[in-house]
Structure 1
Amino acid sequence: MAIKEKARELAQEIVSSQAYQEMKDAEEAVMADDEAGDLMEELESVQKRVQMAQMNGQEIDQSQKKKLQNLKAKMQQNPKIKDFLTAQQEFNGIMEDVNEIISNTLQGQEPEEEEDSGGQIIT
Structure 2
Amino acid sequence: MLPYDKAYELAKALAQSEEYKNYLQAKEKLERDDKNLKMLQEFKRRQLAIQMAELAGQEVDEEQIEQVERLYEIISLNPVINEFLTAEYRFSRMMADIQNIINEAISAWFELEDKNDYIN
Q: TM-score, normalised by structure 2?
A: 0.73
Runs (5+) with no aligned partner, structure 2: 108-120
- Give every structure 1 segment of 4 or more consecutive aligned residues whose post-TM-superposition deviation is greater than 6 Å: none
Give the Cα separation in 1 of the matches to 2:54 and 2:87. 30
Runs (5+) with no aligned partner, structure 1: 108-123
What is the CA distance between 1:55 and its match in structure 2? 4.2
Query: Relative contact order, CA 8 A, sep 6+: which one is greater?
Result: 2
Q: Deviations over 1:56-90 (max 9, x none)?
A: 44321132012101110112101011111222222
Aligned to 2:50: 50
Aligned partner of 1:45: which letter? Answer: R
Aligned to 1:76: 76
Give the Cα separation in 1 of the matches to 2:19 and 2:43. 24
The answer to whether residue 79 in structure 2 is matched with residue 62 in structure 1 is: no
Q: What percentage of aligned pairs have identical amino acids?
A: 33
**Structure showing the higher helix proportion among its residues:** 2
Alignment of 1:93-104 (within 5 A): 93-104=93-104
Aligned residues: 108
Aligned to 2:30: 30
**RMSD over aligned Cα, in angstroms?**
2.4
Q: Deviations over 1:31-67 (max 9, x none)?
A: 2222221111101221232234334443211320121
Change (3 A) 1:77 1:101: same
Change (3 A) 1:52 1:103: closer
- Greater gyration radius: 2
